[in-house]
Amino acid sequence: MSARACVVCLCVALVALIFVPVFAPGVAPVSAQGFAGLGTSAEGFALPTPGKRFSFPADHGAHNDFRIEWWYVTANLQAADGTRYGVQWTLFRSALATGDADGWANPQVWMGHAAITTPDRHHVAERFARGGIGQAGVTAQPFDAWIDAWRMTSRAAATADALSSLDLKAAGADFAFELKLDADRPLVAHGDGGYSVKSDQGQASYYYSQPFYRVAGELTLPGGAVAVTGQAWLDREWSSQPLSANQVGWDWFSLHFDGGEKLMGFRLRDGAAGFTSGTWISADGAAEPLAKGSITVTPLSTAVVAKRSLPVRWRIEVPSKSVDITTQVLNENAWMATAFPYWEGPISFVGTKPGRGYLEMTGYMPIADR
């Protein structure tokens, strides 16, 4: 979720909430200029610095001195009949200003995205809430993250990490899910001990993940309830620095290899070579930042989704880890038609190391606008 979180967070939180019609969280087309306009200022907010030591459980909670932050879960699930599903649960925090205040004057704005992707449908819902009145928020201890009726709650033992066992639920007009997430391996810090660089200009975020969840639960779909199992990945990221001025969007992958290893990789597009980065996570949870240039992502074919031409097949190469795979989306139409629209959905892949994962693509312009 690193880069993508970053992007999503930036785009969604800032673009959607600040520059979009406030009275109607409607559809707001985002332009490259829109991103560029956000690329600079972080005035008054704290900035990520190298050498950070995470402190838990405090760091599971909100960091209001940073402008943007999210709690981001994606899950690759499967029903008893073999049908595959994808689930997304995301809570974004965006500070309109520094400082804290009680009640409605609180400058924090919260946004939730939830989705279920099936092979032929994609159900989406979003929620907005003001901070300061209890409608949305995150408490570190006991860990509880919520917006409206959507909730991510810890049921971890006192001695374990709070995020190691979670209850996750959300519901939209035509779907709902309730999942239990359990991880038996440690949290993974990305980049330099959690300091994750996003551009050559030095934009960065704090970024850690829990990629090792086993999942069991139930999806409620128009056709009825479906019991599912599978695996999930949680990203935690916060920052104040949006993208660099020339970055227009990104492609982000979280991969579960059948052998138990995990890979987080992203490419930030800037009209030139782009900025790629990633983390290799071994099956025991040891994380290894991928050096610049050691991961290559290449679009193979596109499909027209929401009037945009989106890459739906990718080749991903990490030669140092003998990874050379081709990914395939479960459902091309995993379009998040939210205030800030983007593509997010489950994928599977074949090649040297097969498995499943999640793909997020943002910043692709509608064809007519190009």
Partner 1 sequence: MKTTLAALLSHWRRHPVQLATLLFGLSLATALWSAVQAINDEARASYARAAQTLGQDRLATLVRKDGSRIDQAVYVALRRAGWLVSPVLEGDKRFGEHRLRIFGIDPLTAPPQAQAVDVAETGALLNFVAPPGIFYAAGEAKTKLTGQTSTPVRVIETIPPGVIITDIGQAQMLLDARLQVSRLLLWPEQSPHRTPLSEIAPDLIERAPDEAGDLARLTDSFHLNLTAFGFLAFAVGLFIVHSAVGLAFEQRRPMFRTLRALGVSARSLMAVIVVELLSFAIVAGLVGVALGYALAALLLPDVAATLRGLYGASVPGAIIIRPQTWALGMAIAVVGTLISAAQGLLGVWRLPLLASAQPRAWAQASRQTIAWQLIAAAALFVAALLIARFGSGLTAGFVLLASLLLGAALALPAILMAGLSVGGALSKSAMSQWFWADARQQLPGLSLALTAMLLALAANIGVGTMVSSFRATFVGWIDQRLASELYVGTRDDAEAAAVRAWLVSRSDAVLPIWNVDGEVAGQRAAIFGIADHATYRDNWPMLQAAPDVWAKVARGDGALINEQLSRRKALNLGDAIALPGGYLTRIVGVYSDYGNPNAQVIIGVNTLTQLFPAVSRLRYAIRVAPEKVQRLADDLRTTFGIPEQNIIDQTAAKNLSLQTFERTFKVTGALNVLTLGVAALAMFASLLTLAGMRLPQMAPVWAMGITRRRLAAMELARSLVLAVLTAIAALPLGLGLAWILLAIVNVEAFGWRLPIHYFPGEWLRLALLSVAATALAAALPAWRLSRLAPSELLKVFANER
Q: Which stretch binds partner 1 (CB under 8 A): 131-139, 228-236, 289-297, 340-348?
A: 131-139
Q: Does 134 bind partner 1 (CB under 8 A)?
A: yes
The helix/strand/coil state of 38 is: coil
Q: Tell me how far the alpha carbon of residue 56 is from its chain's centroid.
A: 21
Identify the residue among 3, 17, 197, 226 touching partner 1 (CB under 8 A). 17
Q: 210: exposed, middle or buried (C-beta count within 10 Å: 0-12, 13-18, 19+)?
A: buried
Q: What's the chain's length in residues?
A: 370
Selected from 29, 58, 83, 97, the binder of partner 1 by CB under 8 A is: 97
Which of 128, 280, 343, 364 is close enough to bind partner 1 by CB under 8 A? 128
Nearer to partner 1, 109 or 232 (CB): 109
The H or E element spanning position 37 is: helix 32-37
| Residue 368 in the binding site for partner 1 (CB under 8 A) | no
Helices (H) and strands (E) in the chain, counts: 2, 23
186 binds partner 1 (CB under 8 A): no
Neighbours of 167 (CB within 10 A): 15
Residue 27 touching partner 1 (CB under 8 A): no
Q: Which of residues 198-227 bind partner 1 (CB under 8 A)?
A: 220
Evaluate whether 277 touches 2 at the Cβ level (below 8 Å). Answer: yes
Owner of token pair 């943002």 = 362
Q: Of the candidates 65, 100, 144, 148, which one interacts with partner 1 according to CB under 8 A?
A: 148
Residues in contact with partner 1, counted by CB under 8 A, come to a total of 32
Residue nearer to partner 1 on the CB measure, 152 or 316:
152
Per rule CB under 8 A, is residue 149 in the interface with partner 1? yes
51 contacts 195 by C-beta, under 8 angstroms:
yes
| Spatial separation of the C-alpha atoms in residues 265 and 349, rounded to whole Å | 14
Q: Is 173 in the site for partner 1 (CB under 8 A)?
A: yes
Which positions from 248 to 267 touch partner 1 by CB under 8 A, shown as an x/- string?
Answer: --------------------
Q: Which is nearer to partner 1, 24 or 272 (CB)?
A: 24
Q: Does 272 bind partner 1 (CB under 8 A)?
A: no
- Residue of 66, 62, 88 lying closest to 75 (CA atoms): 88
Q: How big is the CA angle at 209 (ends 63 and 305), to the nearest 5 degrees?
A: 95
- The span from the CA of 202 to the CA of 200, in Å, is 5
29 touches partner 1 (CB under 8 A): no
Nearest by Cα to 91 from 131, 42, 40? 131
Phi/psi of residue 159, nearest 5 degrees: -85, -20
Tokens 């020339």 belong to which residue? 246
Nearest-approach distance from CB 140 to partner 1, in angstroms: 19
**Per rule CB under 8 A, is residue 43 in the interface with partner 1?**
no
Least distance to partner 1, CB of residue 170, Å: 9
Binding flag, residue 286, partner 1 (CB under 8 A): no
Contacts to partner 1 by CB under 8 A: 17-26, 28, 96-97, 103-105, 107, 109, 128-130, 133-135, 146, 148-149, 171-173, 176, 220
